[in-house]
Chain A
Amino acid sequence: MRKWTKLAKYSFLTLLGMVLLAGCDRSKYIVLDPKGPVGHEELRLIIISVILCAVVIIPVIGIFVYIAIRYRDTPDNKAPYQPEWADSKVLEVIWWGIPVVIVAILGVFTAKTTLNLTKPPVKDVKPIVIQVTSLDWKWMFTYPDKKIATVNYAEIPAGVPVQFVLTSSGTMNSFWVPQLGGQEYTMPGMSMGLWLQADKTGEYFGSGANFTGKGFAHMQFRVKSVTQENFNKWADSVKKNSPALTNQGYKNLEKPGLEKELSFSSYPKGLYEDIVNKHGGTYMDHMNHMGDSSSMSDMKKDDKSMSGMDMEHNK
């Protein structure tokens, strides 16, 4: 038995070491190290919820340990034994009351944050719109005002709120850039709005977050935030040097498979809206569920092809 206990002890210590060392590099905890206002707001709520939960959980575990030790059935235990005592209004009030208060507090913070996140992260900077389409198994980004397109990477200007509008060409996926903020589902026939913003320049990890089959695990993409000036330069360079995305080119993208990073100097007019409509958009409510209506009018203004579409119909 000695040999086994020694082995068990060393294994456990090794494991513990691995866990602690793995935890050393804080920058890997990207959800806890946000690079933009949306992620920061979400982290604030995370921290508040941890504190509120800890207020209950830690004392309760303490009480549990105390009770378990104190009232053990050993012959020399002198703790009182009251087998018929089973009621206490005071205790009931305490342990119904405190959780109610905690839930109320957390509820208020949750409501406030949820409402805040439907608005652009900053008010005084003009937002840009980037359309996102999830395909099997790659991401396509179309820029309605720059009129360029990319696959599996996107560049955004730092300090500028970005309204991502999300759709899917087939299966239900989810668009997630953890360092910038939370995710939202991409769905066929729907156009969902998600506000994100990068405070500074940098490169951020993005991935799909709702299972879509064989190639799902490979749906990582890169979000690069650069200065406004460099963003314009990059867009111009793509316009000048990259091939165009034709209708046939898009059809090729639709074929199931993986892709590397691609850039396109132009894309077919109304491509995003066509994708939305082709997959059931005519029956769905087009309002951005997480953006506000000004972004929709932005879309109308910036992309003339949409003016012919009746966005409010409910046939």
Chain B
Amino acid sequence: MDTSHFFVTGDPMIYGADVSIVLAVVAIVFCLTYFKKWGWIWREWITTVDHKKIGIMYLLAALLMLFRGGVDALLMRAQLAVPNAHFLESEHYNEIFTTHGTIMILFMAMPFMFALFNMVVPLQIGARDVAFPALNAISFWLFFIGAMLFNLSFVIGGSPNAGWLSYPPLSESAFSPGPGQNYWIWGIQISGIGSLATGINFVVTILKMRTPSMRLRDMPLFTWSTLASSIAILGAFPILTVTLAMLTIDRLLGGHFFTSTAGGNPMMYVNLIWMWGHPEVYIVVLPAFGVFSEVVATFSKKRIFGYSSMVFSMIAISVVSYYTWVHHFFTMGAGADVNIVFAICTMIIAIPTGVKVFNWLFTMFRGRVRITQPMLWFYAFVPCFLVGGATGVMLAAAPADYQYHNSYFLIAHFHQVLIGGVVFGYLAGMYYWFPKIFGFKLNDRLGKWGFWLWQIGFYVCFMPQYALGFMGMTRRIYTYNASAGWDMGWAPLNMVSTVGAFLMGIGFIFQVWQIVYSIKHGERDVTGDAWDGRTLEWSIPSPAPVYNFAILPEVKGRDAWWYQKQEMKNGDYQEKPVKYEPIHMPKNTGVPFIMACFFFIAGFGFTFEWMWMGVAGLIGVVVTLFVRSFQYDTDYYIPVEEIERTENEYRNRVLSAQQTAN
């Protein structure tokens, strides 16, 4: 491989990024050394297997990636604000839209989702950790290293530029030589292994680690959504792994899975990648629905309407999502019969989704609705997702799609459901569970500024794009009105859309300010029950102690914590004597991080087609697994004295807060 362009040159923005990266690394190393925190960071974070800390790391990574993906978006919109702009030339723009899509779905939405799974699910089911804590850490570090590898591309070697799904033949060596496309493959491949492991972990956790008295039908809906999503992950990610491997074999070993010569079939890639790709978007949206079920019930002070219907619809969505993939390429000419079947399946999946919206609305009906930050984001979600879902049904009508496909109508639709559904949902979750994880709430005033800027920015950015689709504007063009004699009138709406994008960017800045400000000034959560919640996670301190529950809770039905509080208010509650026992916990381990480092070496090597390095990295991974297999001393016990101390400290804190209040 030609490595004369190892470092990406020629672009002032890239040089600026190089400098920032070096400065940031130097700053981090300096701070860690000066404050003597190397040991701390190794012990407390790099080797942790605690699901709560892993959740925090996932959240930080997701927010960082939201920033990077957002900057990509602003760069694109800046280029498209006026016709024939030369802010970004073609290949640079192509790299940016490719990295924007890949980052937002795979390195922002997935880790944000895993953050919520990790921070919340064990606490909701009365468990002390997930089923496989070390595997959980492996999942995080594989994601981290995959994301690092992918992000490295824009300064070393060059980024991929064939779109976020890299269709062949464009993504084959003949049309996309060089490391860029390989970065895409390996970044996602490594991270995808972590995702699959998380799917396995949470299915087993939810099925086997609930506190003994919690039946499946007592589980909170967020946990149900995690289960549905995790099962979907199990079905979809193996397909992704194989498809990426096949593309690698084509590129690295001269194979012919998807080439147009020697018998390869590019259409097979399109089918396979979307057989993963469609379930993937339901994988990310189901937990957002789970978040809203918790938020709406809590802030309506009412039980969720139609619990069984909600569970059924989530499972239905999870299953039917496997039967819709062809709608991503109705125009690839599969034939009328195939198109009709998939059009109808796609419309069918809108039904359970719509049912959920009704259930949330009728939870609020005859409730007492408080408008808090999480609830605000639910209010934003309802109209946004309804319209986005409707345009989805419009797209499902295959012949209509022949006009919408790959136009700005499509872009507007999927951003509306992904932002309106997934991002708004995860943000609601972040605001809702922030006090549980960090011990303080996020400031309301700054939050409102961020919220309104996001809302206005979103509609100003994306509503014009539906119109642009009707005006015949295709996606993935770096400029328009470029060809002589064609002025299609797209300029004004593009300018408006760009303004909207920047409004959203400013909204995000307010959110970052909000987080930083609240670290010092945010309202502290003393009781652990910041919102007068309904489910078990609110029955323990904030932040939760390392063992979560000193005694495994007894659950008598749904919304167990809420009904226990009612009993305590009425004086019906029978408090039983407390007898602590030593708690069995997993030990920290450096294996996950080390294995991820070997995966990085492998991925980097294969990206540049240095086979020796790639193979060495893979051998390193296998050796790490081998070594781990020999480790038998992996657990320890928390002594009773420590548990007593923690619980008493917490009780005193609550009592003194109550006294101050009185």
A and B touch in the complex (CB under 8 A): yes
Please give the residue numbers on chain A whose beta carbons come within 8 Å of chain B beta carbons, in ascending order: 12, 15, 18-19, 21-23, 25, 28-32, 39, 41-42, 45-46, 49-50, 52-54, 56-57, 60-61, 63-64, 67-68, 71-73, 77, 79-88, 91-92, 95-96, 99-100, 103, 106-107, 109-111, 113-115, 117-118, 170-172, 174, 176, 178-179, 181-185, 187-190, 192-193, 205, 207-218, 220, 279-280, 283-284, 289-290
B303-314 vs A, CB cutoff 8 Å, 1 = contact: the mask equals 111110100000
**How far is the CB of A67 from the nearest CB of chain B, in Å?**
5
Given A18-B495, A95-B354, A213 and B162 contact (CB-CB distance below 8 Å): yes
- Kindly report which residue of chain B lies nearest to residue A63, judged by CB atoms: B361
Q: Counting chain B CB atoms within 10 Å of each CB, which of A22, A68, A170 scores highest?
A: A22
| Chain A proximity of B97: nearest CB distance (Å) | 9
B100: min CB distance to chain A, Å: 14
Further contacts, 14 of them, CB under 8 A, given A60-B357, A111-B343, A174-B405: A15-B496, A31-B469, A83-B301, A99-B354, A103-B350, A170-B174, A182-B331, A182-B405, A185-B329, A188-B266, A214-B94, A216-B476, A279-B260, A290-B333
B29 within 8 A of A: no
Chain B residues positioned under 8 Å from A25 (CB to CB): 489
Cβ contact within 8 Å between B331 and A87: no
Could you tell me if B369 and A68 are in contact, using CB atoms closer than 8 angstroms? Answer: yes
B423 within 8 A of A: no
B393 neighbours in A (Cβ, 8 Å): 49, 52-53, 103, 106
Are the C-beta atoms of A107 and B94 separated by less than 8 Å? no
Known: A86-B306, A114-B339. A210 touches B266 (CB 8 A): no
A178/B336 in contact, CB under 8 A:
no
Question: Complex formed: what's the CA distance from A19 to B471 in Å?
Answer: 14
Chain A nearest Cβ from B84, distance in angstroms: 10
User: Chain A residues with Cβ under 8 A from B400's Cβ?
Assistant: 42, 45-46, 49
Chain A residues near B398 (CB-CB < 8 A) = 110, 114
Chain B residues within 8 Å of A190, by CB: 267, 333
The reply to whether A181 and B402 contact each other, CB–CB distance below 8 Å, is yes
Q: Which residues of B contact A210 (CB under 8 A)?
A: 167, 406
> What are 22 A-B residue pairs whose CB atoms fall within 8 Å in the complex?
A15-B499, A21-B492, A29-B467, A29-B471, A49-B400, A56-B354, A68-B369, A71-B367, A110-B344, A111-B344, A114-B399, A171-B170, A172-B167, A172-B169, A172-B270, A205-B488, A210-B167, A211-B170, A212-B170, A213-B162, A213-B176, A218-B483
Residues of B within 8 A of A21 (CB): 492
Return the chain A residue nearest B175 by Cβ: A171
When the two chains form the complex, which single residue of A71, A217, A290 contacts B366, counting CB atoms closer than 8 Å?
A: A71
Q: Are A82 and B333 in contact (CB under 8 A)?
A: no
Given contacts A28-B488, A103-B348, A187-B332, contact A72 B495 (CB under 8 A): no
Looking across the interface, which residue of chain B has its beta carbon closest to that of A117?
Answer: B399
Tell me if B302 counts as interface (CB < 8 A to partner A): yes
Closest to A108 in B: B344
> Taking each of B90, B301, B472, B479, which has the highest tally of chain A beta carbons within 10 Å of its own beta carbon?
B472
Given contacts A22-B496, A91-B358, contact A64 B383 (CB under 8 A): yes
CB-defined contacts of A73 to chain B, threshold 8 Å:
301, 368-370
In the bound assembly, the distance between CA atoms of A72 and B365 in angstroms comes to 10
Q: What are the residues of chain A within 8 A of B483 when measuring CB–CB? A: 218, 220
CB pair B403 A207 closer than 8 Å? no
B343 touches A107 (CB 8 A): yes
Verify if B6 is at the interface (C-beta below 8 Å from A). Answer: no
Mark contacts of B622-635 with chain A using CB atoms, 8 A cut-off: 1 yes-contact digit, 0 otherwise.
00000000000000
Would you call B573 an interface residue if the criterion is a C-beta within 8 Å of the partner chain's C-beta atoms? no
* Complexed CA–CA distance, A12 and B397 (Å): 35
Contact A213 B331 (CB under 8 A): no
- In chain A, what residue has the closest Cβ to B98? A211
- B403 and A181 contacting across the interface, CB-CB below 8 Å: yes
Q: Which 4 A-B pairs have the closest CB atoms?
A: A182-B402, A188-B260, A217-B477, A289-B333
Shortest distance from the beta carbon of B121 to any chain A beta carbon, whole Å: 23
Contacts A15-B499, A83-B301 given; does A110 touch B91 at CB 8 Å:
no
A151 and B392 alpha carbons, distance in the complex (Å) = 36
Say yes or no: A81-B367 contact (C-beta < 8 A), given A174-B406, A205-B486: yes
**B334 to A: closest C-beta gap in Å:** 7
Question: B351 at interface (Cβ–Cβ under 8 A)?
Answer: yes
Partner of A106, one of B347, B488, B492: B347
Residues of B within 8 A of A107 (CB): 343-344, 347
In the assembled complex, the CB of B489 is this many whole angstroms from the nearest CB of chain A, namely 4
CB within 8 Å of A: which of B284-311? Answer: 300-307, 309
List chain A residues, Cβ under 8 A from B266: 172, 187-188
Bound-state Cα–Cα, A19 to B466, Å: 12
Q: Is B261 an interface residue (CB 8 A)?
A: yes
Interface centre among B365, B386, B387 (most CB of A within 10 A): B365
Question: Which residues of B sit under 8 angstroms from A171, Cβ to Cβ?
Answer: 169-170, 175
Find out whether the CB atom of B387 lies under 8 angstroms from the CB atom of A57: yes
Q: Could you tell me if A209 and B407 are in contact, using CB atoms closer than 8 angstroms?
A: yes
A12 to B457, CA, bound (A): 11
- In the docked arrangement, what's the CA distance between A145 and B394, Å? 39
Contacts of B463 in A (CB 8 A): 19
Contact B402 A183 (CB under 8 A): yes
**Minimal beta-carbon separation of A120 from chain B (angstroms):** 14
| Distance of B101 from chain A, by nearest CB (Å) | 11
What is the CA–CA distance of A87 and B476 in the complex, to the nearest angstrom? 47
Instruction: Determine the residue in chain A with the shortest Cβ distance to B167.
Output: A172
Residue pair A30, B496 in contact (C-beta under 8 Å): no
CB distance from A244 to the nearest CB of B (A): 26
A29→B329 CA distance, assembly (Å): 23
Query: What 0/1 pattern do residues 397 to 421 of B give for CB contact below 8 A with A?
Result: 1111111011100000000000000
- Which residues in A have their C-beta under 8 angstroms from that of B477? 216-217
Is there an interface contact between A72 and B476, defined as CB atoms closer than 8 Å? no
Binary flags per residue of B352-376, CB closer than 8 Å to A gives 1, else 0: 0011011001111111111100000
- From known contacts A68-B364, A110-B343, A205-B488, infer whether A183 and B403 are also in contact, taking CB-CB under 8 Å: yes
Which single member of A39, A109, A179, A208 contacts B474 (CB below 8 Å)? A208
List the B side residues contacting A67 at CB < 8 Å. 361-362, 364-365
Cβ-closest chain B residue relative to A12? B456
| B87 sits at the interface (CB 8 A) | no
Q: How far is the CA of A84 from the CA of B94 in the complex (A)?
A: 54
- The verdict on B654 contacting chain A, using a C-beta distance below 8 Å, is no
Check if B405 sits within 8 Å of A183, measured CB to CB: yes
Question: Contact at A92–B306, with CB atoms within 8 Å?
Answer: yes
Taking A15-B496, A28-B488, A61-B386 as contacts, is the C-beta distance between A110 and B397 under 8 angstroms?
yes
User: Judging by beta carbons under 8 Å apart, are A100 and B351 in contact?
Assistant: yes
Residues on the B chain within 8 Å of A114, using CB: 336, 339-340, 343, 398-399
| Most A CB within 10 A of own CB, among B169, B332, B460, B474 | B474
State the CA gap A18–B499 with chains docked (Å): 12
Q: How far is the CB of A68 from chain B (nearest CB, A)?
A: 7
B91 touches A280 (CB 8 A): no
Q: Is the CB of B397 within 8 A of A49?
A: yes
B263 within 8 A of partner (CB): yes
* Cα separation A170 to B401 with both chains bound (whole Å): 25
A41: chain B residues within 8 A (beta carbon): 399
A residues less than 8 Å from B305 (CB atoms) = 85-88
* Binary CB contact string for chain B from 482 to 508 against chain A (1 if under 8 A, 0 otherwise): 110010110011011001000000000
Known: A81-B368, A86-B305, A213-B162. A91 touches B351 (CB 8 A): no
A91 touching B362 in the complex, CB below 8 Å, given contacts A170-B175, A181-B403: yes
> Residue on B with the closest CB to A119?
B336
Residue of A with least CB distance to B351:
A99
Q: Which residues of B contact A83 (CB under 8 A)?
A: 301-303, 367-368
State how many angstroms separate the Cβ of B384 from the closest Cβ of chain A.
11
Indicate if the CB atoms of A178 and B403 lie closer than 8 Å.
yes
B264 contacts the other chain (Cβ, under 8 Å)?
yes
Q: How far is the CA of A73 from the CA of B531 in the complex (A)?
A: 14
Given A110-B343, A214-B91, A29 and B480 touching (CB < 8 A)?
Answer: no
Decide if B271 is an interface residue (CB 8 Å cutoff). Answer: no
B263 with A283: CB separation less than 8 A: yes
